[in-house]
Amino acid sequence: MGRQTKISETIRSTLMDWIIQIHYNFKLLPESLFLTVNLIDRFLQAKPVSKREVQLVGVACMLIATKYEEIYPPLLKDFVFITDNTYSAD
C-alpha cells in the first residue's frame, strides 16, 4: 500500500470484505479467495489505482483466480452484474 496515493488501507479493507461476500455468494473454493487476495495485493504494489477503479481491480483479479482454480468459474456477465453494471464486459 506504500505506492498508493489515492486509496488507503481502509479502502483495501472494504474491498476485501466485498470480495469475501462475492466468494461466499458464488460458493467458490477457498483457493480462489486466497489467489484473488494475492493478485489484488500484487497489483496494488505495482500500480497506483484510483478510488473509481478499486472495485474493477478486485473483480478482474477474482475473474483470473476463478478461471485458474474453479472447474466452472462464474461468467463475465456475473461479474458485471455483481458490480451493479458499473463496468461493462469490455
The answer, as to whether pTM is greater than 0.75, is yes
Structural domains of the chain sorted by starting position, each given as residue range(s) with its CATH number in brackets: 9-82 (1.10.472.10)
The per-residue pLDDT for range 7-59, each reduced to its tens digit, is 999 999 999 999 999 999 999 999 999 999 999 999 999 999 999 999 999 99
Burial class for 79, CB neighbours closer than 10 Å (0-12, 13-18, 19+): buried
pLDDT of residue 90: 81
Q: What is the mean pLDDT of residues 70-81?
A: 92
pLDDT of residue 31: 97
Measured from the Cβ of residue 45, the count of other Cβ atoms closer than 10 Å reads: 11
Asked if residue 5 has pLDDT above 90, the reply is no
Cell numbers 469490455 correspond to what residue?
90
